[in-house]
Amino acid sequence: MKVLVLGGDGYLGWPTSMHLSAHGHEVMAVDNYLRRRLSREEDSEALFEVPNLHRRAQLWQEKSGKSIAVRVGDICDWDFLAGLFGEFRPDALIHYAEQPSAPYSMKNRAAAGLTLQNNVMATFNVIQAVHEFAPECHIVKLGTMGEYGTPNIDIEEGWIDIEHKGRRQKFLFPRAAGSLYHTTKVLDTDLLWFYVRTWGLRVTDLMQGPVYGLETYENRGDESLYPFFNYDELWGTVINRFLVQAVAGYPLTVYGKGGQTRGYLDLRDTLQCLRLSVEHPAQAGELRIFNQFVETFSVNTLAEMVQASGRRHGIEVKVNNLPNPRKELEEHYYNPAHTGLLELGLQPHRLTPERMDEMLSVIQRYKDRIRTDCIFRNVRWNR
């Protein structure tokens, strides 16, 4: 299939581009380097430098013999996006191209405004471009489990049947996001749902939990093909952060009581989920929603798992329960459904002690590059 990967330079986008290419798809990766620019501006750069997207595609071609087309530009720029559809008529597109950090979106008014404008406009343009130039193209959109928040009832897979005064109707499962970033994902879902109803688009919206890891089957042992790996407060996700903190001898930054529970997945499973979604498209006029995670953990459990991995490496890992900079429930019920992707064929990787140890060992190679000053900056939700 011809697959356009929007946000193809990102933590998930570059590994996805290689994975789809390895599986025989024709890939065009598109990015405007927003993530690189913002992390440089915030002085929160990744653990190691990665080549630019053109160079990465060359390295991939040398390794695999397969080519990935690269375009650098902003998908909020209509002329640029329309031009992409003119030259590459995709069967499917993966839309990763958003500002993904909750803390960045809560940092100040400018960062919140950038997040809102970029994310909602990117999704709006994608919808318009598909409608105008490739109405059969399957949109695979990255949403987030955080759209649902942490309600005191089971979370269904995207939708809920409601019976009210003797009548029934299926609705989007209620959303209650916990940051401005997460709220932009709720707005995206609503935009997609409106245009699915109105124009009959075919859409898969993936409610993904936090991802961990850096090695995949395509880049294993080849550091030049690793994704960028952030561990700072703004761009690092919690498992990646804790592993780096362990290696740096920096006490694990558990926020508040640490009972916050989320659904996590290995980077390799993100790639499987995306490929399975692309290869089994939604119907025209369908907004198909999958909850994309493999297993749930509380922050406290993750801290214990990282401590145990540290012990196996001869490192003593301390834990520091910090006052929570975020506004979120620290003890709550959490039971989301997640069967759709398993039914499509997902073979999950679990967060085993071996997997933890492998990640910790890779990070140890970069120990000298860790900057402890960007690990905790205390971006507070209630400024």
CA–CA dist 179, 19 (Å, integer): 31
**Bridge partners, residue 252, by sequence:** 319
Of residues 17 and 300, the one with the C-beta less far from ligand USQ: 300
CA–CA dist 128, 125 (Å, integer): 5
Active-site residue list: 144, 181, 185
Q: Which does 34 bind (CB under 5 to 8 A by kind): ligand NAD, ligand USQ, none?
A: ligand NAD
Q: Is 145 in the site for ligand USQ (CB under 6 A)?
A: yes
**Considering only CA atoms, which of 326, 23, 29 is closest in space to residue 181?**
326
Q: Is 5 in the site for ligand NAD (CB under 6 A)?
A: no
Q: Which does 31 bind (CB under 5 to 8 A by kind): ligand USQ, ligand NAD, none?
A: ligand NAD
Q: What are the Cα distances from residue 380, in Å, to 91, 107, 134, 149, 306?
A: 42, 7, 42, 18, 25
Smallest distance from the beta carbon of 101 to ligand USQ, in angstroms? 6
CA–CA dist 291, 308 (Å, integer): 29
Smallest distance from the beta carbon of 220 to ligand NAD, in angstroms? 19
> Which residues in the 6-25 window bind ligand NAD by CB under 6 A?
7, 9-13
Of residues 59 and 315, the one with the C-beta less far from ligand NAD: 59
Q: Which does 229 bind (CB under 5 to 8 A by kind): ligand USQ, ligand NAD, none?
A: none
Query: Using CB under 6 A, which of 210, 213, 258, 310 touches ligand NAD?
Result: 210
Smallest distance from the beta carbon of 136 to ligand USQ, in angstroms? 28
Q: Which long-range contacts (CB under 8 A, 24 or more apart) does 190-194 make?
A: 191/120, 191/123, 191/124, 191/127, 192/123, 192/127, 192/139, 192/141, 192/287, 193/287
Size (the chain), residues: 383
Note the residues at the interface with ligand USQ (CB under 6 A).
Answer: 100-102, 144-146, 182, 209-210, 237-238, 241, 253-255, 260, 262, 299, 326, 328
